[in-house]
Structure 1
Amino acid sequence: MFSLFAVMAGVPGGHDLFDLVFVIAVSSIVVQGSLLPAVAKKLDMIDAARGVRRTFNDYRDEDGMSFVKLKVGAGHPFAGRSLADIGSATDMLVVLALRDGAHPVLPNGDTVIEEGDLLVMAAQTFEERAEVTLREVTVTTHGRLAVQRLRDVPQGKHPFIVVMLKRGDQTIIPDGNTLIYAGDEAVIATLAS
């Protein structure tokens, strides 16, 4: 950048300075970049037995895998059951359970799910389908979704399901008892006609 300023300012020899800096920068990148793997290996800085630590998010896009969280509330059908009992019914794998707010549990088939657990589950990523569309609508004061429970919303001739509500900073996964307010952002799934 500084050599470019010299060229733009019309400093005598500015073009020569720019050429010299360019050659030095490219040579440095080529020499250092090509020597780095060899030097790291010579100094025994590479551990072939261990991979780089990865997080759940690293696998989402590459492998068609999604991770979802599920809060097991009071009366949830998973509460009090072992993972072996519910495993085949969900077609998902519970990879982590957070118990008592933050205590992590690496589950196995004998792990019993308790009320209050937050489960992290792995599942196949949903494949986009042409016949299903998602759209986001803002609930208006006089709209058909406003100020009523989700189960009471009339379906009309085009069936839909409210997948998610955004209320301020809060994201809500609704059920039939969820009350919808004006100003909520509703994500709606419909079948294409």
Structure 2
Amino acid sequence: AALIGGNGYLAVYMTGILMGNAKLREKKELVHFFDGLSALMQIVIFFILGLLAKPDLLLAMLPMAFAIFLALSLFARPGAVFAILGLKKAPWQQSALVSFAGLRGAASIVFAIMAMADQAEFGLDVFHLVFGIVLFSITIQGTLLPFAARKLDMVNGEGNVLKTFNDYSEDGDLCFCQVVLDQRTPLHGHTIESLALPSGLSVALVLRNRKPLVPHGGLILHALDTLIVTGTKFESAGKLLDQERIEAQDERIGRALMDLQGDVHRIVCIKREEGYVVPDGTTILQEGDMLIFLKS
């Protein structure tokens, strides 16, 4: 990047994204090591920044810093985020949360130091100004971020936050799924060994009245039991299947599949709340449904 006059910070950032999504040997151990190293470096850099800051100069810049913080939080950042995510037709709740979560950390202060070290003419104390903006952002936005996420209904308890941007975690060869037996289940009174599960599929745990039971072949199943079933992960599922959520205001809400045009026959399953629906032509779509369908 330096040889061609590019941005070194952007080059390192892009390299991190590529390596984060690459298949590396001992990746999990490497990630744990560099997570610890990154945390240590953040402590060191904030310590150094604290030594560089002068309380009297910082207090003098706080009014202007607060005004800029308000302008960034209420106008500049929301305008940019909504314009960019609007191209992807993202839900307004997602755009609002991204706007609110646009915190400014140590990198902003370091850039301010570099600008002042380059003897740029600003006419004001950029270092303490940026320092004040970061303090307001972390104190106000950082504290209220969990509250804002809950109010905007943007909390996903099932997702893995480590895989939000980079594939930080290595997936195992096994996956788990939950099977809840209803009142009319034909499995009531049957033993686990009588299920004759295929090779590679087994019951790892049985929950009965919220109490875990270690499964064995002679364990008799009851209605309302919850089975935790484990099996070999299907690596090619993402190549064959795709999913789409029915959001609010979708014109398909309340309509039967048989009344819809298009390749509705490719819908193989519908995830609805905590359960799954095997669809047929009379299935009525509801808000929040997750359609799982074959890729064309």
TM-score range relative to shorter protein: 0.5 to 0.7
Structure (1/2) with the larger strand percentage: 1
1:106 Cα deviation from its structure 2 partner: 0.6
Query: How far apart, CA to CA, are the structure 2 residues paired with 1:112 and 1:191?
Result: 37
CA contact 2:269–2:292 (8 Å) conserved in 1: yes
CA RMSD for the aligned pairs? 3.6
Q: Which residue of 2 aligns with 1:72?
A: 181
The answer to whether residue 263 in structure 2 is matched with residue 160 in structure 1 is no
Give the letter for the 2:240 counterpart.
Answer: E
Quote how far apart the aligned CAs of 1:4 are: 4.3
Cα deviation code 1:46-81 (max 9, x no counterpart): xxxxxxxxxxx9xx9542211111111122232221
Consecutive unaligned residues of structure 2, counting only runs of 5 or more, are 1-45, 55-159, 161-168
AA in 1 matched with 2:291: I
Alignment of 1:1-193 (within 5 A): 1=46, 4-9=49-54, 61-89=170-198, 91-99=200-208, 101-127=209-235, 128-138=237-247, 140=249, 142-143=251-252, 146=254, 148=256, 156-157=262-263, 158-165=265-272, 170-175=273-278, 180=284, 182=286, 184-193=287-296
> Amino acid of the residue matched to residue 226 of structure 2?
L
Following the alignment from structure 2 to structure 1, what is the Cα–Cα distance between the partners of residues 238 and 251?
Answer: 32
TM-score by length of 1: 0.54
Partner amino acid for 1:118? T
- Asked if the contact 1:139–1:146 (Cα under 8 Å) also holds between the matched residues in 2, the reply is no
CA contact (8 A) 1:133 1:192 kept: yes
* Higher share in helix: 2
Give the distance between the partners of 1:122 and 1:61, measured in 2 at CA: 18
In the TM superposition, residue 87 of structure 1 has moved relative to its aligned partner by: 3.5
Rounded Cα–Cα distance in structure 2 between residues aligned with 1:7 and 1:141: 54
Give me the TM-score of the superposition, normalised by structure 2. Answer: 0.38
Contact kept in structure 2, 1:94 and 1:119, CA below 8 Å: yes
Deviations 1:23-57 (A, max 9, x none): xxxxxxxxxxxxxxxxxxxxxxxxxxxxxxxxxx9
Contiguous gaps of at least 5 residues in structure 1:
10-56
Contact 1:162 1:186 in 2 (8 A): no
Is the CA contact 1:72–1:115 (under 8 Å) kept in the aligned structure 2?
Answer: yes
Tell me the SS of whatever aligns to 1:94.
strand
Quote the offset at 1:175 in angstroms: 4.1
Tell me if the contact between 2:245 and 2:290 (Cα under 8 Å) persists in the aligned partners: yes
Change (3 A) 1:139 1:80: farther
Identity of aligned residues (%): 19
Larger relative contact order (CA 8 Å, sep ≥ 6)? 1
Aligned to 1:24: none
